[in-house]
Structure 1
Amino acid sequence: MKTVLNEKINYDLITSYDVSYLREYTILPFFDDGLTLYLYVSEDSNLNTCQEFFNNKNLKFLSCEKEEILFLLSDISTKLRLFSLAGKSKEFDSLNSSFMQDFLEKLLSYSIEKNSSDIHIESCNNLTLFRFRIDGNLKTFLVLEKNFIKLVSSYLKLISNLDITQNRLPLDSRFSFLIDAKKFDFRLSTMPTLEAESIVIRVLDSKNINIDINKIGFSSHILLDIQNALKLTQGLILVTGPTGSGKTTTLYSMLNILNSNEKKIITIEDPIEYKLENITQVQVNNKIGLNFDLVLRNILRQDPDIIFIGEIRDELSLQIALQASLTGHLVLASIHANNSSETITRLYDLKADPFLISTTLKLVLSQRLVLSYCKYCQAKGCSKCNFTKYKGRTIISEALKIDESLSSMIFKKQSINTFNEYLRKIKHRSLYDDGKLKVKENITSMEELLKVIGL
């Protein structure tokens, strides 16, 4: 069945009709050439009064999913306003035009309203697509003419203090915007492609940094393991998982618990996205020689109590993390691994001394993010969840506490099969086990769980 999400929608045409009727009967006017009115309909569309409603015009029906039609008819006043402002911006074709500023303000406000983490602006099939990443997934929210991407690119570069004539090299910067009298920060990245630039705007939402670890979605037994580990004065705590699994949010929530005037906390990040009060944050800057290695080699001279390493990426970063853990520091870090037991073999791969690992490693927290059922419609599909049946995400996780037996196995560098056999023996609860608990509690679906953990 054809998708209409990546096609240009004429909102003037849609709003020339009674939108409440279109929603009720699941009908989307798409194109009128003067002779024929083209309508998108679904298997559930009610066409009984269609001919009369559209003034007995010659009608042609095209098929698509019901959810797509309802999604396209949602937030119609916002989409119409963006459509209108884009047209006026293109008409005046000036970076000083207030229409372009108003368009961007409306776009950013809309993305924040939808809890979007990123806005993707890209060229596709002679069109400019505006896609929002919400709960980890991309969805097209607006489609405009192809040439509009050049205008929006130039304006974004202008307000980000970038060279507006440079479109052959990747660029990145930041900008701020007042939205409803509140200042928001955004990170801009542009990348040259075959057709046009690809533009990504990251929404830097400062309220995310104060997330309470009790409200992220951890199961009670996982929370207890985390809280006990954070009472330690030295050792290594690792949070593992693929990109986009919420590792940074979890680590920031741990830092919020540890943060106090009695302790010095230093972070090494690339980049720093959020400023944490009372914490010394160091941002890597390779352009001036302030690289990861240099910061790590000098960090202990700052007399820290707690060290946060954004990502253990090589032998050196792991070596310093282990040494710091051994010499009276609590070290929190992220590392890429599929699960808790595979994290141990990942440490071996980075040539870590098995004795150091067995002595310093205290907790490995492996996690994923799964979509949660929409609480507004109970997973039926509504405007709040953009007719996806899901809204928001929760964590599924497993916590591997390094007890004496595991420490001995690590020191002896035993195989992952030996680790897994021991974990089965002690009835360790895996990612899948925690996910099944969330399915049983009707928080998410088995389909979503299997998709995320790759079974």
Structure 2
Amino acid sequence: MNSLDLELNYEFISKFHIQELQNSLIVPLSKEGIFIKCLFCSESNYSSFNTLNLIRTKELTKEQILFFLSDMEFRTKLYSLASASILDKNSKQNHIESFFKNLIEKAIALRVSDIHLESMEGVVSIRFRIDGKLKVFYIFQNSLQRVLSSYIKMLCRLDITQNRVPLDGSFSFYLDEKKFDFRVSTLPTIYGESIVIRVLDNQSILKDIRELGFNQEHLKNIEDIQKLNSGLVLITGPTGSGKSTTLYSIIKGINKEDKKIITVEDPVEYKLRQVQQVEVNDELNISFKEVLKNILRQDPDIILIGEIRDKNSLDIALQASLTGHLVFASIHANSAVETLSRLFELNSDKYLLSLTLKYIISQRLVLNICQTCKKQGCKICNYSGFYKRSCIAEILKIDEELSSLILKNDGVSAYLKSIEFKTIVEDGMKRVDSGITTLEEVYRVVNA
């Protein structure tokens, strides 16, 4: 199904009886003489509109039709503000400010992680990323993009005349006395600009570890991890698998007055109370290598390395964990066993690795079946059938036997089979059996 690239005129749509449109599964777009252009689906019922000449413009799914006909009061309000922002020269600033404020408040209410404002031929599309998946929410005239771009750049204190070079900025927004931070990236495209706004919500990432969806066995392992005084703990998974949330949640549980915690991140997006966070900046010679080289002089108890990228960062992590520090780090690999292979590829010192490596957490995030509609699609889940995500994982504890096998780099897979090591797929299957997610969703994220 191609993405929708037609403007949705909600002032026109609101002239019809919304319940009738929902029952008929038709979205009217515009009137041209005696004809009305409309969106339709395979289940559309045209009998209610037999006195009108309908031109079926584009076919969508039933869920898409119902979604675009939902939340009509807000959609109409946003469309009116968008139109006024384009046409009313005298009060343009007030209109675009109100438009953007309403858009941000809606995004926060819907738990959006990223807002994508994208110029296309003739229209600007606004997509929200919710629970890791992008979905088109609003479509307006393309001329809105320039007004919106200028306003966002003004908020970020960027040069509003620059629309042919990529820019990065940030701004803050208060809602009900709660502060939200946003990171902005702009990129010139053939039709205008692509603007992505990342919603940085500390409350969503600084969760108690028990809120993340780990099973009881995994939670017991994580409790044991939090009791460690030294060693190396690795967390692995692809981008968007929740590694940062898990790491921050573990750190939150051990962040006490008697612990000195230092993180090395690229970039620092979420601020942690009482934690010394260092942001990598190659232009200022604050590289991973330079920071890690000096970090032990700060007398830390716990070190969090955003990502092990090369042999140098791995060697420092191993040395730090060997000398009485607890080190957490992420590394790109698809499973716990593959993580070991990745460490060997980086020419790690096998002796140090066997001594210091304590746990490997490999995880993914699966979409949860919406408990309101049971995957039929409703307003709560934005007609997607899924609502929120939970973590599936495998946690490999490095015991004495496994440590000796790591030293020899031999027999790891056979040993894991002999102890019936529970894999991430098996954890996912339990969630399927419990009605939390679907088989397709488990295989989608595991094979990502």
Give the structure-2-normalised TM-score.
Answer: 0.96
Query: What residue is the counterpart of 1:58 in the other structure?
Result: 53
Find out whether 1:131 has 2:127 as its counterpart.
yes
Per-residue CA deviation, residues 14-59 of structure 1 (Å, 9 max, x unaligned), is 10011122223322112211211223333333433333xxxx2223
Find out whether 1:427 has 2:420 as its counterpart.
yes
Query: What residue is the counterpart of 2:443 in the other structure?
Result: 450
2:274 aligns with one of 268, 274, 278: 278
1:168-317 matched pairs, under 5 angstroms: 168-317=164-313
Q: 1:348 to 1:215 in 2, by over 3 A?
A: same
- 8 Å contact from structure 1 (residues 338, 366) kept in 2: yes
Distance 1:256 1:211 in 2: 8
Query: What residue is the counterpart of 1:441 in the other structure?
Result: 434
Kindly report the root-mean-square deviation, in angstroms, between the aligned alpha carbons of the 2 structures. Answer: 1.7
SS at match of 1:49: helix
Q: 1:171 to 1:17 in 2, by over 3 A?
A: same
Distance 1:374 1:314 in 2: 41
- 8 Å contact from structure 2 (residues 171, 181) kept in 1: yes
Residue identity (%)? 47
Per-residue CA deviation, residues 208-244 of structure 1 (Å, 9 max, x unaligned), is 2330101100011111111112211000000000111
Distance 2:335 2:104 in 1: 36
Find out whether 1:368 has 2:364 as its counterpart.
yes
Q: 1:16 to 1:4 in 2, by over 3 A?
A: farther
SS at match of 1:263: coil
1:148 aligns with one of 104, 127, 144: 144
Per-residue CA deviation, residues 305-331 of structure 1 (Å, 9 max, x unaligned), is 111111111111111110000000000
SS at match of 1:383: coil
Distance 1:25 1:362 in 2: 59
Distance 1:316 1:93 in 2: 57
Q: 1:58 to 1:8 in 2, by over 3 A?
A: same
Find out whether 1:87 has 2:83 as its counterpart.
yes
Counterpart code for 1:48: S
Distance 2:37 2:64 in 1: 16
Distance 1:9 1:43 in 2: 20
- 8 Å contact from structure 2 (residues 315, 348) kept in 1: yes
Per-residue CA deviation, residues 177-225 of structure 1 (Å, 9 max, x unaligned), is 2335543211001122233221100001121233010110001111111
SS at match of 2:272: coil
Distance 1:270 1:396 in 2: 26
Tell me by how many angstroms 1:336 deviates.
Answer: 0.5
- 8 Å contact from structure 1 (residues 209, 276) kept in 2: no
- 8 Å contact from structure 2 (residues 24, 48) kept in 1: no
Counterpart code for 2:417: R
Greater alpha carbon shift after TM alignment, 419-428 vs 18-27: 18-27
SS at match of 1:161: coil
Tell me by how many angstroms 1:400 deviates.
Answer: 0.6
Query: What residue is the counterpart of 1:347 in the other structure?
Result: 343
Distance 1:357 1:194 in 2: 50
Per-residue CA deviation, residues 260-288 of structure 1 (Å, 9 max, x unaligned), is 00111111111111111111111122232
Per-residue CA deviation, residues 415-451 of structure 1 (Å, 9 max, x unaligned), is xxx3222211110011111110110111000011111
Tell me by how many angstroms 1:385 deviates.
Answer: 0.7
Note the residue ranges of structure 2 that are not aligned, 5 or more in a row.
Answer: none
Distance 2:20 2:137 in 1: 22
Distance 1:193 1:377 in 2: 39
Distance 2:90 2:291 in 1: 45
Query: What residue is the counterpart of 1:17 in the other structure?
Result: 16
Counterpart code for 1:17: F
Distance 1:167 1:209 in 2: 32
Query: What residue is the counterpart of 2:7 in the other structure?
Result: 8
Distance 2:32 2:370 in 1: 39
- 8 Å contact from structure 1 (residues 366, 397) kept in 2: yes
Query: What residue is the counterpart of 1:356 in the other structure?
Result: 352
Distance 2:370 2:42 in 1: 24
- 8 Å contact from structure 2 (residues 86, 92) kept in 1: no
Distance 2:156 2:226 in 1: 40
Query: What residue is the counterpart of 2:34 in the other structure?
Result: 35
Counterpart code for 1:374: C
Distance 1:29 1:4 in 2: 17
> Would you say how many aligned residue pairs link Structure 1 and Structure 2?
447
Counterpart code for 2:229: T
1:103 aligns with one of 99, 103, 121: 99
Tell me by how many angstroms 1:403 deviates.
Answer: 1.1
